[in-house]
Every structure is written in C-alpha cells, then in structure tokens.
C-alpha cells in the first residue's frame, strides 16, 4: 500500500484510534458525522495536526513516527490538499493561484482547460463562483504534481447542481491519477459514487455499520443514495 | 519661509517610514504568530515609546548615543563620527519613537489573514519565510499603508525627541516643527504661519495617496 497509517490522539470529546491504508490510484472516502475526526485524520496526513502516537508511512518513508521522533514538515510531504473553501490566495488571479506551486507552468493552462476555467485566468477569486474557485483549487493542488491528494469536503459549500457536476469531473479525473486519494464527505451518495473504499468514522474510530444505520434512519440519506444511481446501492440499502 | 527645514522634515519622514516598514514587518510577524516566553514583556517594550514623554525618550537616547553611551561608542569606533546632532541620529531617534505606530497596524493586518491561507502555503511547499513574502505581505497592504500614514505623520509632527537628539543644525537636523518653534520664539509670525500652513497639504496629500493604495488592495485591482 502507498499510504499506511495508525494513529492515536486524545481529542476533546473522545480518543481517536484509527488505522487505514490506501493504494496508488485508489480513493478512500472517509465518511461520518461532523466532529467525528475525519478532518483531523486528513490534517494528520498533511502534517497540519500531530498525532499523540502512531506512524504515518508513505511508500516506506516515515512521515510521522512517534517512536522515532519523526515528523516530516507539511511542505516536504508534497501533497495536494483541497480544503472546504476560501484557500485561494485573494491577491492573485486564478491563473497565478493555479500556478502558485506548479512544477511546470506549461501544465497549468492544460489543467485550467480541463476544469473549464481557462477563460477566467485573469479573474481574482472573489469575482468567480464557488464552483469555479474549487476547480481552481484542484488545479492548484494538481499542478504541484503531488504524491497524494487530500480532499476535505471540497464541494460541500456548493449548490447541488454544481456539486454533482464537479463530482462527475472528479470521478473521470480519478481514473487518470496514479496516486492515493483521501476524500472526506458526510454525503453518503457522494461516497458511494466516488469511492473505491468507504471508511465510516464515528467518534475517532472506524464504525462499519454507520452507513446502513444512517440510511435506515434518515430518508434524506436514502434519497441521496438513490440520486447516485449507483449499483452498490443494493449493498448499502 | 524655511524651505531647507521642510526638505529635512520630508527626507526624515520618508527615510523613517521606509526603514520602519522593513523593521516593523518582522517584529509584527513575531508578535502575531510566534509564541515564546516573555512575549508580553517584549510587546510592552515595543509599545513603550507611546507612553513615554518624548523628552524622556530623547534624554535616554542622548545617553545611549553620546560619546559615553554604548551605541555612541560603537558608532564612534566604526565610523569615527558621532550620532548626536546628525541626520542619522535623528533617523534612529524617529525610528525608535515611531516603532509602535508601525508595528500595531501591521500586526493587526497579519492577524486578519485567514490561517487556512498559511496552511495552504505550507501544503504547497512554502517555507515560513517564503509564505511571509508570497502570502502574508501581499495580503497586508492595508496594514502597511496604515502604518506608513501613521509613521510619516508622526515623524513630521515629532519635536521634543528630535530637538534633544539632533538639536537645530540647519539643513541637517533642523526640521520644520523646530523651525516653526524658533520662528515663534523670534516673534517671526509670518514665517511660522507659512511653515505651519505647509503641513496641511503635505499631510493631506499623503493621506489621499495611502488611502488610494489601501482601496486598491481591498478591491483587488
């Protein structure tokens, strides 16, 4: 597996104890209720938050190892990270944002073209829509040629239609990516649509029965699942 | 009309403003983001010039810059000259005198920056220094502009500290505020009136310029 981790951290309301693995080209979706530790886990992988104990290995390289006192700084992990919103640099136009950390600036035009925002290259982030901003954030993350991609509810602030469009674009893109992807969401439909593997996280632990319980309890979740027209629906519902 | 002292004033204000932006930005960064023991003491020390009477500050600067003071001795060894009654001496005094007025708005601007932008900068591979140059500074133009206004105007208006450290050497340390004072003392109200009147457009034009810069930064032009 490309990414292997086992981490423990004492949080305010519960103790987190999680392990997961993700292979190259695979997308693991972390799902669960808000405040369950999904974002904290992704932040640990990014190096933005530190586990109390455990290990995070990437292709055999220790990014974090409490036993050996290793904690590779975020900037050296070479990851792509798309946050929920508002992380484009407001003083730069979309092109300069996308090219901010680009390995090869020539690739940036192609990426902007791919995500349909090439015509907005001169616009500042506050002058484009939320969906266009998140497309730019994806370009920014990918132009760095990351070794791994972390997506923390990247579309949650968007309207349903934009969200569905982006979800499909991401699914198409995923087939061409050869690194591991961790995707955080609380939308079951989105998880079923995108994931190679779904890990429900509740109060800092993996709870494999969470999805079935949620779908059985909440009609809206069931509708969300139906909306994906996903064959695995039968498994979950 | 004493144009020479007006020239010295503007030169001093400009040099002090530029120097203070360079000095205050890293200090403000440390105060905004760093945690270390004694930080509160350090911050209070930076803001001390607001609370001290300018003549008290001038007195201590005379002691420090004089031939027996540590700074004065070191300067003498390095250059063979003196800091007291020189343009460099009043530049140093102005920088110390106005440092709180530069640090405070810049620190406020740094604190306003969304921490997620800095996290994204780290994710994108930037060191702290690179993030400071590429993300923090360009998004703090409003605070830098506010600091420039305050320092520039504060330096133009300085009197006590400059008189003590620089005296009144025409063309070197005699600034307009001292020239006005001396004109009034000599009962030359005509010169004092014209000199005083000069302060208004100078201050006003500078405020307009910096406000415009501030507006452009806010609207992302």
Q: What is the CATH number of the domain that holds B9?
A: 1.10.3720.10
Instruction: Let me know: does B99 contact B48? Beta carbons within 8 Å.
Output: no
For B120, the closest chain A residue by CA position comes to A87
- Indicate if the pLDDT at residue A232 is higher than 60: no
| Banded model confidence at residue A237, pLDDT cuts 50, 70, 90 | very low
- Which of B118, B121, B125 would best serve as a mutation to test chain A binding (most A beta carbons within 10 A)? B125
Q: Tell me the pLDDT of chain A averaged across its residues.
A: 90
| Pairwise CB contact (< 8 Å): B120 & A81 | yes
Global ipTM: 0.88
User: Half-sphere exposure of A184 toward its Cβ, with a 13 Å CA cutoff?
Assistant: 24
| Pairwise CB contact (< 8 Å): B125 & A46 | no
| Pairwise CB contact (< 8 Å): B220 & A91 | yes
**A121 token code pair:** 């290259």
- Indicate if the pLDDT at residue B160 is higher than 70: yes
* Residue B208 vs residue A184, higher pLDDT: A184
For A73, the closest chain B residue by CA position comes to B122
| Banded model confidence at residue A222, pLDDT cuts 50, 70, 90 | low
Whether B219 contacts chain A with CB within 8 A: no
- Indicate if the pLDDT at residue A229 is higher than 70: no
Q: φ and ψ at A28, to 5 degrees?
A: -100, 125
pLDDT of residue B12: 97
Nearest CB to A75; choose among B127, B138, B220: B127
- Indicate if the pLDDT at residue B215 is higher than 80: no
- Indicate if the pLDDT at residue A86 is higher than 80: no
Whether B115 contacts chain A with CB within 8 A: no
Nearest CB to B119; choose among A48, A91, A126: A48
pLDDT of residue B142: 86
Q: What is the pLDDT of residues B176-194, one digit of tens each?
A: 999 999 999 999 999 999 9
pLDDT of residue B44: 96
Q: Tell me the pLDDT of chain B averaged across its residues.
A: 92
Alpha carbon distance A83, A104 (integer Å) = 23
CB atoms within 10 A of CB A13: 9
What is the domain extent for residue B157?
A: 3-220
pTM score, whole prediction: 0.83
pLDDT of residue B53: 94
**Which residues of chain B neighbour A81 with C-beta distances below 8 Å?**
120, 123
- Indicate if the pLDDT at residue A186 is higher than 50: yes
| Pairwise CB contact (< 8 Å): B123 & A124 | no
Alpha carbon distance B138, B159 (integer Å) = 34
Alpha carbon distance B44, B141 (integer Å) = 25
Q: How far is B23 from chain A (nearest CA, A)?
A: 23
Q: Which of A63-72, A219-228, B37-46 has the lowest mean pLDDT?
A: A219-228
User: How many A×B Cβ pairs under 8 Å?
Assistant: 53
Q: What is the pLDDT of residues A106-164, one digit of tens each?
A: 999 999 998 999 999 999 999 999 999 999 999 999 999 999 999 999 988 888 888 88
What is the tally of structural domains in chain B? 1
Whether B120 contacts chain A with CB within 8 A: yes
End-to-end CA gap in chain A: 30
- Indicate if the pLDDT at residue B10 is higher than 70: yes
| Pairwise CB contact (< 8 Å): A74 & B114 | no
């Amino acid at each position: 597996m490309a990414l292997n981790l086992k981490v423990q951290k004492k949080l305010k309301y519960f103790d987190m104890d999680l392990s997961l693995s993700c292979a190259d080209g695979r997308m693991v979706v972390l799902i669960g209720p808000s405040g369950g530790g999904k974002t904290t886990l992704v932040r640990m992988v990014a190096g933005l938050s530190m586990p109390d104990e455990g290990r995070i290995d990437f292709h055999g390289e220790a990014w974090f190892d409490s036993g050996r006192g290793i904690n590779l700084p975020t900037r050296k992990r070479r990851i792509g990270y798309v946050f929920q919103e508002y992380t484009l640099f407001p003083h730069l136009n979309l092109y300069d944002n996308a090219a901010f950390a680009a390995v090869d600036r020539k690739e940036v035009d192609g990426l902007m073209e791919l995500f349909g925002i090439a015509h907005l290259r001169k616009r500042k982030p506050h002058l484009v829509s939320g969906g266009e901003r998140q497309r730019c954030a994806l370009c920014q993350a990918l132009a760095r040629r990351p070794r791994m991609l972390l997506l923390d509810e990247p579309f949650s602030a968007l309207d349903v239609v934009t969200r569905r469009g982006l979800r499909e674009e991401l699914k198409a893109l995923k087939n061409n990516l050869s690194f591991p992807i961790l995707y955080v969401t609380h939308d079951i439909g989105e998880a079923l649509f995108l994931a190679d593997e779904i890990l429900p996280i509740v109060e800092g632990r993996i709870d494999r029965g969470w999805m079935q319980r949620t779908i059985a309890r909440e009609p809206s979740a069931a509708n969300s699942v139906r909306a994906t027209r996903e064959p695995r629906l039968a498994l979950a519902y | 009309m004493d144009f020479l002292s007006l020239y010295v004033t503007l030169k001093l204000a400009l040099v002090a403003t530029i120097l203070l932006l360079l000095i205050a930005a890293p200090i403000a960064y440390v105060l905004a983001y760093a945690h270390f023991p004694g930080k509160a003491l350090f911050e209070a020390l930076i803001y001390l010039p607001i609370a001290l009477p300018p003549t008290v500050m001038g007195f201590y600067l005379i002691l420090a810059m004089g031939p027996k003071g540590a700074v004065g001795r070191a300067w003498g060894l390095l250059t063979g000259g003196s800091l007291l009654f020189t343009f460099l001496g009043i530049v140093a005094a102005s920088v110390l005198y106005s440092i709180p007025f530069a640090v405070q708005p810049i620190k406020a601007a740094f604190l306003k920056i969304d921490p997620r932008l800095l996290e994204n900068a780290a994710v994108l591979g930037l060191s702290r220094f690179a993030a400071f140059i590429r993300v923090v500074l360009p998004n703090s133009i409003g605070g830098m502009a506010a600091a420039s206004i305050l320092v520039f105007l504060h330096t133009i208006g300085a009197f006590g500290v400059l008189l003590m450290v620089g005296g009144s050497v025409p063309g070197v340390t005699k600034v307009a505020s001292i020239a006005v004072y001396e004109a009034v003392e000599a009962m030359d109200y005509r010169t004092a009136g014209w000199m005083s009147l000069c302060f208004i457009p100078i201050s006003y034009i500078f405020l307009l310029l910096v406000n415009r810069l501030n507006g452009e930064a806010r609207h992302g032009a």
